[in-house]
Chain A
Amino acid sequence: MTIRFRNVVKTFRTHGVRKVILRKLDLTLPRRNIAVLGGNGAGKSTLLRLIAGADRPDSGAILREGRVSWPLGFAGSFNGSLTGLENARFVARIYGEDTERVIGFVEEFAELGESFRMPFTTYSSGMRARLAFGVSMAFRFDWYLVDEITEVGDTSFREKCRTVFKERMGHARMIMVSHGLGSLRSYCDMGIVLDRGEVLVFDDLEDAIAYHEANMRGAKTGVLQAAG
């Protein structure tokens, strides 16, 4: 089960400035937990959105095998005036899942208590993150796309997240964007680096991290020679 990029081109035009995110990418992502690295504005979030299907490439195609999640992030895409419960129900509906099951799972997982039935606007940032986590975990995807997850909640909640993640990773895989190398190291075993329109693939996460850090320091030439 892979995700294949076939001659994918993606550019952005903001205020007349054209930025190339992907320059004719031809790549197959293997069935592993993959970290996505790159500088600020390199297009990591865009890459995740492309994989999810929330954005479309300018040309080329992305062929996905298996169910791909939406870009799971901090806030989710929840409507403020709806309650946590109603938001969960909505996501369950669009994905064609049993709404009662999803609501039950999210209620139990997110530990929001009475707030689960209160409008989303009343939630603290921690509660919002817990709801987002809960909703994401309620669905069995084959690929989980994770964008800048910050570990929230108290220790027991974080433990619960980790347990669920690990259990899911038994049959699912994760593609993760994070500036926290610790998170990347604990979940991923390989890495890709997005650098000015190109994607470099590293079979070992540490090589990816090394390249990325050298890149950031500006000492590219030395690393390229060493990597061969």
Chain B
Amino acid sequence: MAELWQPMDWGRVAAARMGEFVTGFVSSATIQFRVVAALMLRESRTRFGKSQVGYLWSLAEPIAVVLTFSALFRALNHPAPIGSSLPVFFATGMLAYHNYRRTASFCSNAFTANEALLTFPIVQQVDTLISRGLLEFFTSILSLLLIFGALHLVWEVALPVDVGPMVLALAALSIIGFAHGSITAVVGHYFPSWPRFDELLSRPLFFVSGIFFVPSALPPSVRSIVSWNPLLHGVELMRSGYYPHYRSDTLDVGYLLGVAGVLLLVSLSAERVMRLRSERDN
């Protein structure tokens, strides 16, 4: 005699399945959180060493850029587009851009730098990406606090008016950097020379992200092209938080966050596809 499902059984089965799913999800999430946290701590140890010097050294490059361009603009008698200080203007832009660039860089070699780690079955490749991305984000926040703190204390530079948009800018740029780096890492898994090529292709972004100019100073035709660059929006958002009266017509926060979201989805999917295939091809 065939057993017939009663409507009540369906309800019970569904509830049981849901319960399993939630428990399974929570425990996997806990494990992933634990692994990512451990990776981040390990990563910061190897990156910055035991002394503070390693960390300060990583700021050397952006500081050098800021100082060089400040000197250059001063020599050309070009005033700061906003406010009265050239270095501060460049610093706001550089902090934002450099966050993106460093995140993209570090994520793009997350796989090769951490190969030995994957012997521990509990560590997944995506964990190495996420841990690097998060570490870069927190480092940038720290840089933000240190740099503007130092500028304020030593040179009496004004503190940011509203830190909120600045943190949001860093978050969005971190995500874009993470996505870019992850996609590079995934493609680099199949084509090992891709990461170098990608870095070359990305260099022009340095000039069109608004570190050295404000979009309103550009001719409209150029402005409309450049405003497709999400990094520009990140820089503008950063500046709108720092400066008391700066309102940018070009800034579109929705665009920035939208691009970040889409890129995040694409990069995570790409990593997933790679993971499903990677053990097939050695």
A interface list, Cβ under 8 A from B: 11-14, 49, 52-58, 68, 70-71, 73, 76-79, 81-82, 86, 90-91, 93-96
Contact = CB atoms under 8 A, between A and B. Distances in A.
Contact of B122 (A14, A73, A95): A95
Contacts of B31: 96
Interface in B70-116: 116
Contact of A82 (B42, B118, B120, B282): B42
Interface string B31-66: 100110111011001100100000000000000000
Nearest to A59: B280
A77 B120 CA distance: 8
Given A56-B279, A93-B37, A79 B116 contact: yes
B122 A79 contact: no
Contacts of B119: 49, 54, 70-71, 73, 76-77
30 contacts: A12-B281, A13-B280, A13-B282, A14-B282, A49-B119, A52-B121, A53-B121, A54-B121, A55-B279, A57-B279, A58-B279, A58-B280, A70-B122, A77-B116, A77-B118, A79-B42, A81-B49, A86-B42, A86-B45, A90-B38, A93-B38, A93-B41, A94-B34, A94-B35, A94-B38, A94-B39, A94-B122, A95-B122, A96-B31, A96-B34
Indicate the member of B35, B45, B46, B120 with the most A CB atoms within 10 Å.
B120
A132 to B, nearest CB: 11
Contacts of B123: 94
Contacts, number: 63
B117 interface: yes
A14 B46 CA distance: 32
A23 B18 CA distance: 35
Given A14-B282, A58-B280, A82 B46 contact: yes
Contacts of A91: 120
B120 A54 contact: yes
Nearest to A147: B119
Nearest to A92: B38
A81 B43 CA distance: 11
Interface residues of B, number: 23
A53 B121 CA distance: 5
B42 A90 contact: yes
A95 B34 CA distance: 8
Contacts of B279: 55-58
Nearest to B121: A53
A123 B250 CA distance: 57
Contacts of B34: 93-94, 96
A49 B282 CA distance: 14
A77 B38 contact: no
Contact of B121 (A58, A70, A78, A93): A70
A161 B279 CA distance: 34
A49 B37 CA distance: 24
A50 B26 CA distance: 25
A52 B119 CA distance: 9
Nearest to A14: B282
Contacts of A52: 121
Given A13-B282, A95-B122, 5 more contacts: A55-B279, A56-B279, A58-B280, A90-B38, A93-B41
A58 B34 CA distance: 28
Nearest to B31: A96
Interface in B115-154: 116-123
A95 B30 CA distance: 11
Contacts of A93: 34, 37-38, 41
Nearest to B127: A94
A150 B41 CA distance: 32
Nearest to A96: B34
Contacts of B37: 93
A71 B49 CA distance: 29
A109 B42 CA distance: 23
Contacts of A14: 282
A90 B42 CA distance: 7
Identify the 6 closest CB pairs spanning chains A and B, nearest first: A53-B121, A93-B38, A77-B116, A77-B119, A54-B121, A12-B282
A71 B280 CA distance: 20
A110 B282 CA distance: 34
A13 B45 contact: no
B120 A94 contact: yes
Contacts of A79: 42, 46, 116
Interface in B155-214: none
